[in-house]
Structure 1
Amino acid sequence: MSQQTQLVDYLQQELAVPAEATALGLRQSAAMPNLLPMVLWQYGLVTTPQLEQIFDWLEARIV
């Protein structure tokens, strides 16, 4: 399972981000997939606290 797939699962299961929102984010960040969390935040699909949770999750996955 790719990290992006794991991130999408996390977004949908843990943060309750709708599938439509993650699909939009994926389309908008297609050229630079690492920007998915920022794209979701920019479009107002996740809150600033949720964005911080996403970054914490990503950081924990890297270690």
Structure 2
Amino acid sequence: MSKHDIPQVVNFLRQNLNLSNDSVQLALKQSQSDYHSLPIILWQYGLVSLPELDRVYDWFESYIY
């Protein structure tokens, strides 16, 4: 994922998973520009459940990769 994909990722997380902007911004900050780690960071911080993590990876696979 590149920096150009971030707006689409944020949109997905906010609209499809109902994450707050603060939660998304925290995860982006913690990923420290290694945006491939973003799904795991979301899960590690308890921002998404395992089924939601699967949805994130499915979305990444269809949109990003």
Residues 20-45 of structure 1: CA deviation (Å, up to 9, x unaligned): 11010011001412211110100001
Matched, 1:61 2:56: no
**How many Å apart are 1:5 and its aligned residue?**
1.5
Q: Which runs of 5+ in 2 are unaligned?
A: none
Structure scoring higher RCO (CA < 8 A, sep ≥ 6) equals: 2
Q: Tell me the percent identity.
A: 39
Distance in 2 separating the partners of 1:36 and 1:4:
10
Instruction: Say what the alpha-carbon RMSD is for the aligned residues.
Output: 1.3
TM-score normalized by structure 2? 0.85
